[in-house]
C-alpha cells in the first residue's frame, strides 16, 4: 500500500456557521486524527465576484446628474441673488459649477454605490449576500486514507463539500 503525503494545504470542508465548523474540528480530533494538521479559515469572495463595479457605474451616473443639478442651483443663486459676478461671466460660472457638481457627485455616489455592491454576489438571475461567511477546513501533511476519513467526518458534521 502506498502512502502519499499532502505537502500543500487542501480544502476538505466548508461550513456556513463557525460554531458548526468548530464542532466538526472537535469531532476530527476525537476520532484520533492529529489536530495540528487541520486549520479553519474564513473565506471572503473576491470583489470581481460581487456587484461592486455595476453599482459604482450606476452610482456615478446618478451622482453626476444630482451634482449637476446642485451645481446649477448654486450657480443660479450666486448669479441672481449674490450679484457678485458680472453678467459677461455668468455662463462660464454656471458651466463651471455644473461640471464641478457633476464631478463631486459622480465620485461620491460612485464610491458609496461600489461599497454597497461588494455586499452582493453576482448570480444568474438571483442576488445572494456576500456577507454570509464561508468557513473552510484545510488539511496539510496527512496520509490519503486519513484525508478520506476526515472528509467523511466533516460531511457527517455538516460540511458543504461532498466526496
Report pLDDT digits (tens) over 97-135: 888 888 888 888 888 888 777 666 666 555 555 555 578
Report pLDDT digits (tens) over 40-71: 887 776 667 677 788 888 888 888 888 888 88
Please compute, for residue 118, the number of CA atoms within 13 A of its CA located in the half-sphere on the CB side: 9
Domain-by-domain residue ranges, the chain? 10-44+131-156, 48-121
Q: Classify residue 5 by its DSSP letter.
A: B
Please compute, for residue 136, the number of CA atoms within 13 A of its CA located in the half-sphere on the CB side: 11
At residue 23 the predicted structure's pLDDT band, cuts being 50, 70 and 90, is very high
At residue 88 the predicted structure's pLDDT band, cuts being 50, 70 and 90, is low
What CATH number matches the domain at 10-44+131-156, 3.10.580.10, 1.10.1510.10, 3.90.550.40, 3.30.70.2760?
Answer: 3.30.70.2760
At residue 142 the predicted structure's pLDDT band, cuts being 50, 70 and 90, is confident
Amino acid at each position: 500500500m502506498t502512502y502519499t503525503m499532502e505537502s500543500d494545504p487542501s480544502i476538505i470542508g466548508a461550513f456556513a456557521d463557525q460554531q458548526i465548523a468548530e464542532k466538526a474540528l472537535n469531532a476530527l480530533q476525537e476520532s484520533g486524527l492529529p489536530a495540528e494538521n487541520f486549520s479553519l479559515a474564513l473565506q471572503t469572495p473576491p470583489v470581481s465576484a460581487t456587484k461592486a463595479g455595476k453599482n459604482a457605474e450606476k452610482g456615478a451616473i446618478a451622482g453626476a446628474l444630482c451634482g449637476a443639478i446642485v451645481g446649477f442651483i448654486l450657480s443660479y443663486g450666486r448669479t441672481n441673488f449674490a450679484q457678485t459676478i458680472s453678467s459677461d461671466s455668468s455662463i462660464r460660472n454656471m458651466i463651471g459649477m455644473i461640471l464641478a457638481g457633476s464631478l463631486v457627485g459622480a465620485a461620491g455616489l460612485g464610491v458609496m454605490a461600489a461599497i454597497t455592491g461588494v455586499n452582493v454576489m453576482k448570480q444568474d438571475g438571483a442576488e445572494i449576500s456576500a456577507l454570509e461567511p464561508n468557513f473552510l477546513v484545510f488539511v496539510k501533511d496527512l496520509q490519503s486514507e486519513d484525508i478520506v476519513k476526515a472528509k467523511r467526518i466533516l460531511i457527517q458534521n455538516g460540511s458543504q463539500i461532498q466526496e
